[in-house]
A and B are shown apart, each in its own frame.
Chain A
Amino acid sequence: MISKELCERVLLRAVSTGADYAEIFAERTLNHSIEMVGGGVDAINDNLVAGAAIRVYKGLRSVMASTVDTSEAGLMKCAQRVAEALGEGKAEISINLAERVIANIHQVLDAPSSAGNRRKVDILRAACSAAKEYDGAVRQVTGTFLDVDHNILIASTDGLYAADRQIRTRLSVRAVAEKEGQTQTGSCSPGRRMGMEMFDGLIDPVSVGREAARQAVVMAGAGYCPAGVMPVAIENGFGGVIFHEACGHSLEASSVALNASQFCGKLGQKIANEKVTAIDDGTIPNAWGSINIDDEGTPSRKRVLIERGVLKTYMIDKFNGRRMGMESTASSRRQSYAYTPTSRMTNTYIAAGEDRNEDIIASMEYGLYARKMGGGSVNPVTGEFNFAVDEGYIVRDGKICEPVRGASLVGKGSEIIQRIDMVGTDMDMGQGMCGSSSGSIPTNVGQPLIRVSSITVGGR
């Protein structure tokens, strides 16, 4: 995209007023999505995002400017803006870029950006039709085929000059079912850091459609979830959102560096039940949240966050790392050049334990089995979180009984992770888009079936 020589000239301009670090992040991204409503293609969103951001540091100050003009003149003007905003001074560092060849751990065989609309529409239609045909109670089906071709280039005064092409594909179906005037929805949205080959055996569009419809039909016949404090068993896959919200966000340097997290100063201490080992791993081949390099150019890696209940590391980007006196853990991410990057999660999960699923359910006299979770949110300062149970069942005398709708779970992260007292063996992941200060980014959440000994269930 932008030559090494031009990057050097731009970086020189950026550090001309005394910055001790400068970085260029340039991007060219094709976002494409096809929406289907009621069996017909309703809309296509096709957007080219292209621009660059220049960031400089001086000590604990950062200045960033972004531009859509990536010509030499545009980049130099942008560099001048950051240099001027930093203040008056003179250049103190020299620049010598070396191209870094990044190992590609996420092979893509069939780029969706050149696959054409027809193939995508066929896949989408197969999924939506399967949902509609699943049951007479299914009233409406909407679906989206989304693909992203995200090309990034990062050059910094550390000498780094590296590029990555991040291709992602996702199919999502949402079904609306109605029984006796009661409307409920179900959804299924698998995605990977892959191309069209995702549909050659790995993801079956028909199963995706049926799963969305199954959930909608079950929930349309469900009564309201009773409210109260009770034990809850949370299923694998997207159930891992509990760790993501209750704990993950509070381990990001964006909160920790500012001393604004419930887990500040707790490295090496036991913060969770000893059954809990939690990992953030950006290197899982072709996983939705995976990266080759983070958005500061640091090669991706696997981080054990919590090992048998003991806090081992935070997730750290370069800038917040300065304040913390710690190295980057390859956790810097941003939605696009227009956002200031910060520490974020990639694929985050609770590792498999040793409890058998049947024992977990059998251990509950009365409680909730959360088969499918919805999204949630957290205040990292206090750790107070919430998330929605999209498909829940009452557990009575160790058996899964009737479905219940409208449940949500609330609590405080630091307390809840102490109460994860049973961890199953069948770890699986689910895909989500995580929103935070650096925008919306793809992340995986995951866990095996777990039990939380007691938590507040919102219902009525």
Chain B
Amino acid sequence: MMADFNEFKRWVARAAEKAGIGDFELYYTCGESTEAEGFGHEINGFTSSVEGGVSLRCAVGGKMGYASTQEMGESEAEELVRRAAENAAVLESEEPTLFVEGGLAYEEHPAPEYPLPDAGELTRIVLELQEKMLAADPMVTESSQSVAASGTERVAIFNSRGLDVSASAGMASFGVAPIVSNGEEMSNEYEVKLGDPAKTDFDKLIEKAVTGAKNKLGGTVPETGAMPVVFAPEAMRALLGTFSSAFSSEMAQKGLSALRDKEGEMVAGANVTLVDDPFFAGVAMPMPFDAEGSPTHRKNVIENGRLVTLLYNLQTGAKAGRGTTGNAARAGYASKVGVRPFVMYLAPGDLSEEELIRKAGRGVYINMLGGLHAGANPISGDFSLQSGGFLIEDGKKTTPIKSFTVAGNFFTMLSQITDIASNLEPPRGGGSRGFTSPSVLVEGLTVAGK
């Protein structure tokens, strides 16, 4: 695929020249992955896929036209230029058409390297995961599944200003999805671990998932009312991810962020520091450049409660009369360049999670939030979300709870975090972007149960 891209670059450059287009950029991604899926005592599915494509941006009449394709032939190069120019002709936004110059310096942070398991090895691992999971507990049912995957990801950007950068990373992941039953009721859990299979503790992965699934059996519905809430890392990182668009200068400039015009102001409690770090230890694909090709770096977004900066790309930075923060992003190769964090996380505090729970006294511990795409409004900050977890009684996690909601406002909540734990882990997914957080204790949220 990469060889195809190198040839395609030349064809597009020629087509752009023919069309009288001076400035253009090609953004290319290619992901190759192999995945084995286990069910019962056998492999039930095996998938190997190659996916990716190339997007052309070009300046035509002062507007940035886009078009993208998965076909990288010579005739498609001309067609791509024609489509991008046609699209540019109807654009009305006043965004400057900026491209990164070649020859910039980039920080070097190598991706974690380990031998990637091949198809045979993935099969062996999945069968091992299945056998271990099915034997882990009498409550584990035959419906439990596991998956092992490995793949490589490549991103390359090439433009008419001399920029020619690329990055790639390989990664393997192992997931288990036990379904447990007590004869009356079923429940399930999913846990995934990224990294070198030789250094992955599969027993621990399975134990964590099976324990999580068993904990959801039975259980009760909590009382309705305002009470202290401890968000476990998996719940807090989901909230961060859902509301992260508020930190985008693009959203702010479009009037779609509650943090618009708040740079320099206190937006959270003094105990809150929010960081964006492309080189967070353990990230699967550390990215030295963003989706426009600008160098990336670590930055505090909120520092001791004060909003230091929103996140910018070249276009939004120029509009605000400042530079980029290196946060240009595309949701996929075909998407318009926008703004997103790399690894965004809440800086850890000193307490252990147990100490946080002790301080909560009586309340709820939430480790599952559902329906974030629907029950949370990233613009207003309001959320009302399906939740799962445990009661906190006498400073301890006790009975499992489910079928309840937690409601509040994210931006208000940033000032209602009374304590932050020290349990910060790498983000769960692969790739170069993600969210993570330690556990937090929040006052003033409403729980709706019975």
Query: Chain A interface (Cβ within 8 Å of chain B)?
Result: 31, 34-35, 37-38, 40-51, 53, 60-68, 81-82, 85-86, 117-118, 121, 139-140, 142, 176, 182-185, 224-225, 227-229, 258-260, 262, 338, 340, 374-377, 379, 381-382, 384-388, 405-408, 410-412, 456-460
Known interface pairs A117-B89, A458-B448; A65-B49 also in contact (CB < 8 Å): yes
Query: In the assembled complex, which residues on chain A have CB atoms less than 8 Å from the CB atom of B377?
Result: 184-185
**1/0 contact trace for B49-86 toward A, CB 8 Å?**
11111010000000001111111000010000001101
Nearest residue (CB) in B for A121 is B90
Contact A227 B405 (CB under 8 A): yes
Bound-state CA distance A407–B407 (Å) is 9
Contact B379 A44 (CB under 8 A): no
Query: Chain B interface (Cβ within 8 Å of chain A)?
Result: 1, 39, 42-53, 55, 65-71, 76, 83-84, 86-87, 89-94, 119, 141-143, 145, 179, 185-188, 216, 221, 224, 226, 254-256, 258, 334-336, 370-371, 373-375, 377, 379-380, 382-386, 388, 402-408, 445-450
Contact B336 A45 (CB under 8 A): yes
Beyond the given A46-B84, A384-B386, A386-B405, please list 12 additional residue pairs across the A-B interface where CB-CB is below 8 A: A40-B92, A40-B94, A48-B69, A48-B70, A64-B48, A68-B51, A85-B119, A140-B254, A140-B255, A262-B186, A385-B386, A386-B375
Contact A31 B384 (CB under 8 A): no
Bound-state CA distance A83–B166 (Å) is 33
Query: In the assembled complex, which residues on chain B have CB atoms less than 8 Å from the CB atom of A117?
Result: 86-87, 89-90
Contact A45 B188 (CB under 8 A): no
**What is the CB-to-nearest-CB distance from A112 to chain B, in angstroms, rounded to a whole number?**
14
Query: In the assembled complex, which residues on chain A have CB atoms less than 8 Å from the CB atom of B45?
Result: 61-64, 340
Nearest residue (CB) in B for A60 is B44
Q: Chain B CB within 10 Å — which of A62, A63, A183, A460 has the most?
A: A460
Bound-state CA distance A31–B119 (Å) is 33
Q: Chain A CB within 10 Å — which of B69, B384, B405 has the most?
A: B384
Query: In the assembled complex, which residues on chain A have CB atoms less than 8 Å from the CB atom of B86?
Result: 117
Tell me which of A49, A338, A410, A460 contacts B49 (CB under 8 A). Answer: A338
Nearest residue (CB) in A for B30 is A68
Contact B371 A408 (CB under 8 A): yes
Tell me which of B179, B258, B407, B450 contacts A459 (CB under 8 A). Answer: B407
Known interface pairs A185-B377, A375-B374, A376-B374; A381-B186 also in contact (CB < 8 Å): yes
Contact A46 B83 (CB under 8 A): yes
Supply 14 A–B pairs (Cβ within 8 Å), ascending by A.
A41-B92, A45-B334, A61-B43, A61-B44, A68-B50, A117-B87, A228-B224, A377-B386, A386-B371, A386-B375, A387-B374, A458-B406, A459-B384, A460-B446
Bound-state CA distance A81–B71 (Å) is 21
Contact B379 A45 (CB under 8 A): no
Bound-state CA distance A408–B374 (Å) is 9
**What is the CB-to-nearest-CB distance from B317 to chain A, in angstroms, rounded to a whole number?**
17
**What is the CB-to-nearest-CB distance from B450 to chain A, in angstroms, rounded to a whole number?**
6
Contact A459 B93 (CB under 8 A): no
Contact B179 A374 (CB under 8 A): no
Contact A139 B46 (CB under 8 A): no
**What is the CB-to-nearest-CB distance from A249 to chain B, in angstroms, rounded to a whole number?**
13
Contact A38 B254 (CB under 8 A): yes
Contact A176 B255 (CB under 8 A): yes
Query: In the assembled complex, which residues on chain B have CB atoms less than 8 Å from the CB atom of A67?
Result: 50
Bound-state CA distance A183–B357 (Å) is 34
Contact B373 A377 (CB under 8 A): yes
Contact A412 B403 (CB under 8 A): yes
Q: Give the top 4 A-B pairs by smallest Cβ distance, nearest first.
A: A458-B405, A227-B448, A386-B386, A460-B446
Nearest residue (CB) in B for A388 is B374
Bound-state CA distance A262–B256 (Å) is 40
Contact B50 A66 (CB under 8 A): yes
Contact A388 B42 (CB under 8 A): no
Query: In the assembled complex, which residues on chain A have CB atoms less than 8 Å from the CB atom of B406?
Result: 458
Tell me which of A38, A183, A457 contacts B379 (CB under 8 A). Answer: A183
Bound-state CA distance A382–B188 (Å) is 8
Bound-state CA distance A410–B368 (Å) is 13
Bound-state CA distance A185–B52 (Å) is 34
**What is the CB-to-nearest-CB distance from B178 to chain A, in angstroms, rounded to a whole number?**
10
Contact A183 B380 (CB under 8 A): yes
Bound-state CA distance A140–B407 (Å) is 26
Bound-state CA distance A260–B181 (Å) is 11
Known interface pairs A68-B50, A387-B371; A47-B187 also in contact (CB < 8 Å): no
Nearest residue (CB) in A for B221 is A456
Query: In the assembled complex, which residues on chain B have CB atoms less than 8 Å from the CB atom of A140?
Result: 254-256
Nearest residue (CB) in B for A70 is B71
